[in-house]
Amino acid sequence: MAELTFHSPTTLAEAFDLMKTHGDDARLIAGGTALVVMMKQSLVVAEHLVSLRAIPGLDGVTLKGDALHIGALTRHRDVETSPVVREHLPFLADVYGRVATVRIRNSATVGGGLAHADPSQDPPAALMVLDARVRITSPRGDREVAVADLFRDYYETVLRPDELIAELIVPIPASTARTTYLKFLPRTEDDYATVAVAALAEVDGGVCRRLRVALIAAGPTPVHAEAVEQALEGKPVSAEAIRAAAALVADAVDPMDDFRGTADYKRDMAVVFTRRALEQVLGQAGS
Ligand SMILES: Cc1cc2nc3c(=O)[nH]c(=O)nc-3n(C[C@H](O)[C@H](O)[C@H](O)COP(=O)(O)OP(=O)(O)OC[C@H]3O[C@@H](n4cnc5c(N)ncnc54)[C@H](O)[C@@H]3O)c2cc1C
């Protein structure tokens, strides 16, 4: 590892200055769970680490109107245990609670997780079905990007070099919406998924009024399964319709061979777990 200088700015302006001064030699660090591993493996080389931890106002969960605002520095464990999240969006608390071990969740931050952009990370699937967005800040001001549009490729986001994620904004779904997150874990409970599916649905009078489906560990970025949604939205719910719609996910995913399974196996499991997720949110479980 190259010699490192650790900076601990106490304002965003100071952090932006450090990033500008050190350019490609500098990296932001939040919980450090991903960055330190990448540095140890020489996948990332940095001479300056700019910590976000001492900057006030970047963590915590607040309810504003009909959305949860979660600061980028909020740790996974804090989302999982937050009384506000548990009361208004228990699904989100549960999904953050599915990440790795308590030890990792006690350090890993919401912003760091999203910026890391590993397509096997759990939260993006749930955040996509919830239509969540991030507020990105830079010396040029703020902009918002839907989580569905945040990822560009393996470990790559649309963040520009002078930008950082300031907060995550998660709209609270209708009280009638059903949600699920199915994480296929054939190895151990704290592993990354072989494949995982999040789904959200609103059903009225036996008709699917609204559907969101997203998968992780199924391609270079999290996958928004639009074809599945379009096949079912506005239509009567039936076991046959669900089965046919789930089959469409095979063309939407692009998994890689690795020690969690071959690409073909993961594609098959994407279909199986999508069907199970649809059965749960559309009220056909056990059909
Ligand atoms: C053993 C292990 C098991 C894991 N298992 C799982 C799992 O099962 N499921 C899962 O979802 N994840 C898993 N993870 C990944 C984990 O979720 C990420 O490591 C974590 O979320 C990264 O957050 P962090 O705060 O530690 O980021 P850091 O390591 O501090 O930073 C990660 C990247 O984001 C950048 N960054 C940090 N904060 C910001 C910001 N606010 N704005 C812009 N850029 C920023 C950094 O420069 C760096 O490039 C696992 C990790 C480990 C080490």
Please count the structural domains in the chain.
3
Residue 286 within a domain: no
> Tens of pLDDT along the chain (287 residues)?
558 999 999 999 999 999 999 999 999 999 999 999 999 999 999 999 999 999 999 999 999 999 999 999 999 999 999 999 999 999 999 999 999 999 999 999 999 999 999 999 999 999 999 999 999 999 999 999 999 999 999 999 999 999 999 999 999 999 999 999 999 998 888 899 999 999 999 999 999 999 999 999 999 999 999 999 999 999 999 999 999 999 999 999 999 999 899 999 999 999 999 999 999 999 865 44
In a domain, 139, yes or no: yes
Residue 238 lies in a domain: yes
Question: Is 28 touching ligand 1 by the criterion CB < 6 Å?
Answer: yes
Q: Does residue 152 fall inside a structural domain?
A: yes
Based on the fold, state whether residues 79 and 38 are members of the same structural domain: no
Distance CA 142, CA 197 (A): 31
72 lines ligand 1 (CB under 6 A): yes
Does 72 share its domain with 162? yes
Domain termination site, one of 153, 171, 189: 171
Cα of 35 vs centre of ligand 1, distance in Å, is 7
Judgement on whether residues 136 and 188 belong to the same structural domain of the protein: no
Q: What is the pLDDT of residue 186?
A: 85
CA 78–ligand 1 middle distance (angstroms): 15
How is residue 236 written in tokens?
A: 């009567």
- Judgement on whether residues 182 and 167 belong to the same structural domain of the protein: no
pLDDT of residue 78: 98
| 106 and 47 together in one domain | no
Point out the domain boundary residue: 155, 171, 187: 171
Probe ligand 1: pick from 37, 39, 99, max atoms within 8 Å of CB?
99
Both 15 and 113 in one domain: the answer is no
pLDDT of the residue at 119: 97
Whether 242 is covered by a domain: the verdict is yes
How far, in Å, CA of 226 to CA of 35, rounded? 32
Q: Is 108 in the pocket of ligand 1 (CB under 6 A)?
A: yes
From 35, 48, 107, 156, the mutation candidate for ligand 1 (largest count of ligand atoms within 8 A of CB) is 35
Residue 84: predicted pLDDT: 98
- On whether both 191 and 209 belong to a single domain, the answer is yes
Q: Which of 123, 156, 171 is the last residue of a domain?
A: 171
Determine the structural domain holding residue 270 and report its residue range.
178-281
Q: Are residues 231 and 197 in the same domain?
A: yes
Is 56 domain-assigned? no
Q: Decide if 182 is inside a domain.
A: yes
* Within a domain: 287: no
* 163, 72: one domain: yes
Residues 25 and 115 grouped into a single domain: no
Q: Supply the pLDDT for residue 285.
A: 55
Q: Are residues 65 and 167 in the same domain?
A: yes
pTM of the entire predicted model: 0.96
Please tell me whether residues 182 and 250 are part of one structural domain: yes
CATH code, domain with 207:
3.30.390.50
